[in-house]
């Protein structure tokens, strides 16, 4: 289908682009990241990490295994890619990607060699991959006010330690039963987010928007609890709780490392920005073929994903330019002279 859209009679040239030709997918990835920062870069921008699945048939595509895919909502024969997105008031795009290799692959070096997996690639968990992607973006100078992630990554204490060591604010989702230990007047307390939320009074909750949805502002009830049991000058730690306004049993929890003085309303808005990467996945899959990769090799997978990221970055920049032009254009229906009282 891609070859047909490109006007080719056969898929040979497209297959050569992804497999047989010689070019650096990571070099293109770096150019995509620079392009996105140029188009969308903002001091208030956010980095968002998440994974997405690609359902596959057979067993030869690199990284394919029976594993849980959030895309399918169940265990499927699939590939899993960890992606890093960037979002600001100008738009959102994907800036990095890495294929997750299950241990069944990394322990079978003959299978890896057949799929052209570099010998240096060893098993790494999804959170470990996320740490590398985030660190690379921060090292490259991507302007970032917050790092956001779901529970797969929020429960990784090494990620939190990495970010706090760089004095990088974050809002990372955690599960309701995530173990929390801190020092109180009576000694060490061990609890979890759900238990702490159950102890909140009605006056502890406030309604704030978590960004725009398809039907307008997405409003939830929010509360937070101070977890600043150890001092980090200029920063505060919070347990942030989001509650559905009409279904109070539906709650979400976040561990937050925030600049001192950050309001609850600001934290609610920041937490809502995690969904920007879901919008990237949806557009890249629906419009750009992100989930239509037919390459079976390691470099073929990364090349396909990077080319889709480049296309998404181009469309995102174009949309941002159109919005900026529309905002700068004078309203032709407005009067040019003041109306007398």
pLDDT tens by residue, 79-126: 999 999 999 999 999 999 999 999 999 999 999 999 999 999 999 999
pLDDT recorded at residue 336: 54
Dihedrals phi, psi of 275, to nearest 5 degrees: -70, -10
d(CA 306, CA 26): 8
Best CA proximity match to 169, nearest among 261, 252, 280: 261
pLDDT recorded at residue 230: 63
Q: What is the three-state SS of the chain?
A: CHHHHCCCCCCHHHHHHHHHCCCCHHHHHHHHHHHHHHHHCCCCCEEEEEEEEEECCCCCCCCCEEEEECCCCEEEEEEEEEEEEEEECCEEEEEEEEEECCHHHHCCHHHHHHCCCCCCCCCCCHHHHHHHHHHHHHHCCCCCCEEEECHHHHCCHHHHHHHHHCCCCEEEEECCCCCEEEEECCEEEEECHHHHHHCCCHHHCEEEEEEEECCEEEEEEEEEEECCCCCCCCEEEEEEEEECCCCCCCEEEEEEEEECCCCHHHHHHHHHHHHHHHHHHHHHHHHHCCCCCCCCCHHHHHHHHHHHHHHHHHHHHHHHHHHHHHHHCCCCCCCCCCCCC
Q: Is residue 4 in some structural domain?
A: no
pLDDT recorded at residue 186: 74
In this prediction, what percent of the chain has a pLDDT beyond 90? 77
pLDDT tens by residue, 212-250: 766 778 899 999 999 876 667 899 999 999 999 999 999
pLDDT recorded at residue 134: 98
d(CA 210, CA 220): 7
Best CA proximity match to 258, nearest among 238, 272, 275, 229: 238
pLDDT recorded at residue 216: 77
What is the number of structural domains in the chain? 1
Q: Is residue 337 in some structural domain?
A: no
What's 143's domain CATH number? 3.90.350.10
Predicted confidence pLDDT, tens digits, the chain (341 residues)? 777 878 888 887 777 777 778 889 999 999 999 999 999 999 999 999 999 999 999 899 999 999 998 888 899 999 999 999 999 999 999 999 999 999 999 999 999 999 999 999 999 999 999 999 999 999 999 999 999 999 999 999 999 999 999 999 999 999 999 999 877 667 788 899 999 999 999 999 999 998 876 677 889 999 999 987 666 789 999 999 999 999 999 999 999 999 999 999 999 999 999 999 999 999 999 999 999 988 899 999 999 999 999 999 999 999 999 988 887 776 665 555 554 44
pLDDT recorded at residue 231: 65
Q: Is residue 332 in some structural domain?
A: no
Q: Is residue 10 in some structural domain?
A: no
> The tokens 């992100």 sit on which residue?
290
Q: Is residue 204 in some structural domain?
A: yes
Decide: residue 94, CB within 10 A, 0-12 exposed, 13-18 middle, 19+ buried. buried
Q: Is residue 43 in some structural domain?
A: yes
pLDDT recorded at residue 212: 74
Domain coverage including residue 245: 25-325
Q: Is residue 97 in some structural domain?
A: yes
> The tokens 């899993």 sit on which residue?
80
Quick check: 270 and 260 in contact, CB under 8 A? no
Q: Is residue 32 in some structural domain?
A: yes
């Amino acid at each position: 289908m891609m070859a047909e859209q490109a006007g080719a009679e056969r898929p040979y040239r497209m297959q050569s682009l992804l497999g047989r030709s010689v070019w650096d997918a990571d070099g293109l990835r770096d150019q995509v990241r620079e392009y996105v920062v140029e188009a969308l870069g903002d001091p208030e921008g956010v980095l968002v990490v998440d994974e997405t699945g690609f359902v596959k048939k057979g067993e030869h595509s690199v990284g394919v295994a029976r594993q849980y895919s959030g895309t399918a909502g169940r265990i499927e024969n699939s590939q899993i890619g960890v992606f890093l997105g960037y979002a600001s008031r100008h738009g959102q795009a994907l800036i990095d990607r890495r294929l997750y290799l299950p241990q069944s692959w990394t322990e079978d070096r003959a299978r890896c060699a057949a799929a052209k997996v570099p010998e240096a690639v060893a098993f790494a968990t999804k959170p470990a991959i996320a740490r590398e992607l985030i660190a690379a973006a921060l090292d490259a100078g991507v302007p970032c006010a917050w790092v956001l992630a779901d529970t797969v990554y929020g429960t990784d204490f090494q990620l939190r330690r990495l970010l706090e060591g760089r004095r990088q604010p974050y809002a990372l989702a955690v599960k309701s039963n995530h173990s929390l230990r801190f020092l109180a007047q009576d000694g060490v307390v061990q609890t979890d987010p759900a238990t702490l939320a159950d102890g909140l009074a009605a006056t502890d909750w406030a309604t704030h928007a978590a960004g725009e949805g398809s039907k307008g502002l997405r409003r939830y009830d929010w509360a937070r609890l101070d977890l600043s049991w150890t001092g980090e000058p200029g920063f505060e730690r919070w347990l942030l709780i989001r509650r559905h306004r009409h279904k109070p049993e539906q709650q979400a929890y976040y561990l937050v490392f925030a600049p001192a003085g950050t309001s609850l309303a600001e934290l609610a808005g920041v937490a809502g920005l995690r969904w920007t990467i879901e919008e990237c996945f949806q557009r890249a899959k629906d419009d750009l073929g992100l989930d239509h990769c037919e390459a079976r090799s390691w470099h073929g997978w990364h090349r396909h994903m990077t080319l889709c990221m480049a296309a998404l970055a181009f469309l995102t920049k174009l949309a941002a330019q159109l919005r900026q032009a529309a905002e700068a254009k004078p309203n032709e229906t407005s009067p040019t002279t003041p109306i007398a009282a």
